[in-house]
A and B are shown apart, each in its own frame.
Chain A
Amino acid sequence: GAGVSQSPSNKVTEKGKDVELRCDPISGHTALYWYRQSLGQGLEFLIYFQGNSAPDKSGLPSDRFSAERTGGSVSTLTIQRTQQEDSAVYLCASSRYSDPYEQYFGPGTRLTVT
C-alpha cells in the first residue's frame, strides 16, 4: 500500500513569508508525528497527534509554528514569518495504535529560507 507522503518535497521561501507543509499518513494510522531534521541535530520532535486526543505540542520551538490534523488524517504544519534558522528537513511519521513504536516516515520536505 501507499506509504506516508509529504508535499512539497522542496520549498524555498523568503525570510518573513509563511509556509505550509502537508503530510498524508498511511490510511488507518491513528498517530502522526512531525519532526525537524537539521545537520548535526538529529530528529527534533515537534508535535504528536494520537487519535482524537489533544495533540502534544511540547516540541514546537516558537509560537510561529502550528499544526493541525483534519479528520484524523491529513496534517498541515504551518510556519509563520519564516526565519533562516527554520531551514531544515521536516519529516512526518505515522503509526498504528496497535503498534505505536513502528513509525513509518515520509520522505520529508526540505525547507530553505533565504
Chain B
Amino acid sequence: AQSVTQLGSHVSVSEGALVLLRCNYSSSVPPYLFWYVQYPNQGLQLLLKYTSAATLVKGINGFEAEFKKSETSFHLTKPSAHMSDAAEYFCAVSSNRDDKIIFGKGTRLHILP
C-alpha cells in the first residue's frame, strides 16, 4: 500500500527565504507523486506532479520538487518565499493512473514578514 509522510505539520520561514517542505513516500511499485496546495478559504489545487518523466518537476508559482528514489523523497522547494505562499501543502502518492491518490496530513506554511 502507498503512503506519504510529511515532516512537520507547521513550517515558518521568513519572506525571501528558502522554502523546504519535506515528503517521504512508501510504495511497492514506482510511484506517481504530487503536491497540492490549499490557500485560506479556497479549495485544493494541483501544484505539481511527478509521473516517471523528469525527476525535477516544476510547478506553479515558482515551486519545484525533486524525486529521489534512493531517499524515497519528494521534497517541495521554492528559492524565495512570498507572503502569498502562506497555505497548507499536501503531498500525495498513487501507484498508477487507475488507482486512488493517497494524501499526507499536510504542512501549514507560515511566512514571517
Q: Which residues of A are in contact with B by a Cβ distance under 8 Å?
A: 3-4, 33, 35, 40-45, 48, 50, 56, 58-59, 91, 93, 100-103, 105-108
Complex: A33 Cα to B92 Cα, angstroms: 14
Query: Do A101 and B49 contact each other (CB < 8 Å), given the known contacts A42-B90, A56-B100, A106-B43?
Result: yes
Contacts of A33 in B (CB 8 A): 100-101
CB contacts between A and B, total, < 8 Å: 54
Q: Which residues of B are in contact with A by a Cβ distance under 8 Å?
A: 6, 9, 32, 34, 36, 43-46, 49, 51, 90, 94, 97-106
Q: List 11 A-B contacts (CB under 8 A).
A: A4-B43, A35-B103, A42-B90, A43-B44, A93-B44, A100-B97, A101-B34, A101-B46, A101-B94, A101-B97, A103-B44
Known contacts A40-B9, A101-B94, A105-B44; 6 additional CB pairs below 8 A are A42-B104, A43-B103, A93-B44, A101-B46, A105-B43, A107-B43
Q: Indicate if the CB atoms of B100 and A48 lie closer than 8 Å.
A: yes
Q: Indicate if the CB atoms of A45 and B105 lie closer than 8 Å.
A: no
Q: Indicate if the CB atoms of B104 and A101 lie closer than 8 Å.
A: no
Contact of B46 among A42, A43, A102, A106 (CB under 8 A): A102
Contacts of A40 in B (CB 8 A): 9, 105
Contacts of B6 in A (CB 8 A): 42
Complex: A42 Cα to B9 Cα, angstroms: 10
Contacts of B101 in A (CB 8 A): 33, 45, 101, 103
Contacts of B51 in A (CB 8 A): 101
Q: Indicate if the CB atoms of B46 and A103 lie closer than 8 Å.
A: yes
Query: Do A100 and B98 contact each other (CB < 8 Å), given the known contacts A42-B90, A105-B44, A105-B45?
Result: yes
Q: Indicate if the CB atoms of A50 and B102 lie closer than 8 Å.
A: no
Complex: A107 Cα to B41 Cα, angstroms: 9
Complex: A59 Cα to B3 Cα, angstroms: 13
